[in-house]
């Protein structure tokens, strides 16, 4: 029972007892007092005064309780705008003063937190780094616009799920990422990312977040500046020297009487020409022009490449299959540059096959798949395939995939090269 209720019950019982005593006294034949009427009036007045006094006291100590109840209700509703006016009662006014001070502090703190949260939300949305925020159960609770752009995955497929339940090639590698240890992650294409998994405290418990920063463009730009300068310098020196040497050899060759010496000079000239061609191929990577993209039929281009590479496939006893839609497939591309890409990719696929293997070209509106069931790509090689001038061939120069990378990046096409769990190696070009 509440204190106020107990007080009211006590007052009512006390005055009921007084009334009963008065009634008992009045029933006696010889009351203590000479006049019953005087006694009755006096007692009635006293009881009325006593009840008034009791209820006045009750209202006095009930008022702070009412203020407290109203304040608690306002705090429960998170309404920090309600303040009380002093009543003139010193005890109640002290309570009101403390409450108003507390409300002012709560309102200021709430305003400060709201401003900080607004700033943080704006900062996260404007961040050039992809950010995923997890809830207490390590499920994705929020993502910023950069993350949606980078992952190219609908928000509904991410929110409310742990990383292990999201089918994405990058996120699959980050599920077991250690806390507070930045890592560099490279996919099977040229995509390179710096990732960091961190933790913050929310309401006394730890929550995690994931930073993903794409480094692909930055790394490629740095590589191009580094090898471009070296290639231009080498090409300049080699071309100048070879041109002068070949001119001298061509002039002297007819004047030499000995046949063996003429043949030796001819071999030297041819070797210089091959060296010159070798340097031109390197220089082509640096001097690659900006693609002149026009609307062209990708299906016709794929069919032409298949016809061009058919003799090489027959020479290796490899089956070359082509699957294209019956109607034209329009891609925005520089046809001559993309033709070079397909020649390089199909050539590499044929060279990885043995007799009886198959290379297939499968085209759809959004992608081109070049599959082969030849030798798989070793794990230690997969991450370096698109590195400039990297090659696993004994006489390879690593120019083909470097040139392929540059052309596809300039077109804005996403691409990857990997051996799938089925054992097939797939070069994928996406028209995004």
The pLDDT score that the predictor gives to residue 397 is: 60
* CA separation, residue 174 to residues 167, 181, 209, 362 (Å): 12, 12, 12, 31
**Pick from 426, 421, 323: nearest CA to 372:** 426
The pLDDT score that the predictor gives to residue 372 is: 93
C-alpha 224: how far from its chain's center? 27
* CA separation, residue 221 to residues 159, 218, 227, 243 (Å): 34, 5, 10, 32
Distance CA 373, CA 360 (A): 9
* CA separation, residue 216 to residues 184, 196, 221, 372, 406 (Å): 11, 17, 8, 27, 12
**What would you measure as the largest C-alpha separation in the chain, in angstroms?**
173
Please give the chain's pLDDT, 432 residues, in tens: 565 666 667 777 777 777 776 667 666 655 555 566 666 676 677 777 777 777 776 666 666 666 667 777 777 777 777 777 676 667 667 777 887 888 888 888 888 888 888 888 888 888 888 899 999 888 988 888 888 888 888 888 888 888 888 888 788 888 888 888 888 887 766 778 889 999 888 888 888 999 998 877 777 777 676 666 677 667 666 777 777 777 777 777 777 667 767 777 777 777 777 777 766 766 666 677 788 899 999 999 999 999 999 999 999 999 999 999 989 999 999 998 899 899 989 998 998 899 999 999 999 988 999 999 988 888 777 767 776 666 666 665 667 787 888 888 888 888 888 888 888 999 999 987
The pLDDT score that the predictor gives to residue 12 is: 75
The pLDDT score that the predictor gives to residue 382 is: 72
The pLDDT score that the predictor gives to residue 363 is: 93
Distance CA 351, CA 313 (A): 9
- Sequence-distant (6+) residues with CB within 8 A of 326 are none
Distance CA 18, CA 13 (A): 9
Query: Is there a contact between 149 and 169 (Cβ–Cβ < 8 Å)?
Result: no
Query: Is there a contact between 427 and 367 (Cβ–Cβ < 8 Å)?
Result: no
**Pick from 190, 185, 222: nearest CA to 404:** 190
Distance CA 163, CA 144 (A): 16
The pLDDT score that the predictor gives to residue 20 is: 74
Query: Is there a contact between 195 and 210 (Cβ–Cβ < 8 Å)?
Result: yes
| Residue 365 CA neighbour count, 13 Å, CB half | 1
Query: For 253, which DSSP code?
Result: G
Distance CA 160, CA 176 (A): 18
The pLDDT score that the predictor gives to residue 388 is: 66
The pLDDT score that the predictor gives to residue 22 is: 65
The pLDDT score that the predictor gives to residue 396 is: 59
């Amino acid at each position: 029972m509440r204190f106020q209720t107990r007080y009211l019950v006590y007052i009512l019982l006390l005055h009921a007892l007084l009334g009963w005593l008065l009634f008992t006294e009045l029933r006696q034949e010889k009351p203590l007092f000479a006049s019953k009427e005087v006694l009755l009036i006096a007692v009635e007045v006293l009881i009325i005064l006593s009840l008034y006094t009791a209820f006045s006291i009750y209202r006095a100590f009930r008022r702070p309780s009412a203020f407290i109840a109203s304040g608690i209700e306002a705090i429960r509703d998170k309404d920090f705008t309600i303040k009380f006016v002093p009543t003139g009662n010193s005890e109640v006014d002290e309570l009101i003063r403390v409450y108003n001070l507390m409300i002012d502090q709560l309102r200021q703190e709430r305003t400060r937190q709201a401003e900080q949260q607004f700033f943080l939300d704006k900062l996260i949305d404007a961040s050039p780094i992809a950010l995923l925020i997890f809830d207490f159960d390590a499920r994705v609770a929020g993502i910023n616009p950069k993350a949606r752009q980078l992952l190219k995955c609908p928000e509904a497929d991410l929110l409310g799920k742990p990383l292990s339940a999201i089918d994405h090639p990058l996120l699959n590698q980050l599920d077991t990422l250690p806390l507070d240890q930045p890592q560099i992650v490279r996919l099977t294409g040229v995509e390179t990312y710096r990732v960091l998994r961190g933790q913050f405290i929310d309401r006394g418990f730890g929550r995690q977040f994931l930073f993903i920063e794409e480094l692909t463009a930055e790394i490629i730009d740095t590589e191009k500046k580094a090898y471009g300068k070296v290639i231009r310098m080498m090409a300049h020196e080699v071309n100048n020297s070879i041109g002068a040497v070949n001119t001298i050899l061509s002039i002297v060759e007819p004047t030499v009487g000995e046949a063996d010496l003429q043949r030796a000079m001819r071999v030297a000239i041819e070797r210089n020409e091959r060296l010159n061609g070798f340097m031109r191929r390197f220089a082509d990577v640096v001097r690659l022009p900006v693609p002149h993209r026009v609307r062209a039929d990708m299906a016709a281009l794929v069919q032409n490449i298949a016809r061009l590479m058919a003799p090489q496939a027959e020479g290796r006893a490899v089956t070359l299959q082509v699957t294209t839609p019956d109607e034209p497939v329009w891609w925005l591309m520089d046809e001559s540059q993309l033709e070079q890409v397909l020649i390089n990719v199909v050539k590499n696929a044929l060279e990885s096959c043995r007799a009886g293997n198959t290379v297939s070209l499968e085209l759809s509106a959004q992608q081109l798949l070049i599959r082969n069931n030849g030798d798989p790509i070793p794990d230690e090689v997969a991450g370096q395939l698109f590195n400039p001038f990297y090659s696993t061939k004994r006489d390879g120069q690593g120019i083909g995939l470097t040139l392929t990378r540059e052309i596809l990046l300039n077109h804005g096409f996403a691409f990857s090269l990997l051996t799938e769990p089925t054992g097939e190696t797939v070069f994928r070009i996406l028209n995004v």
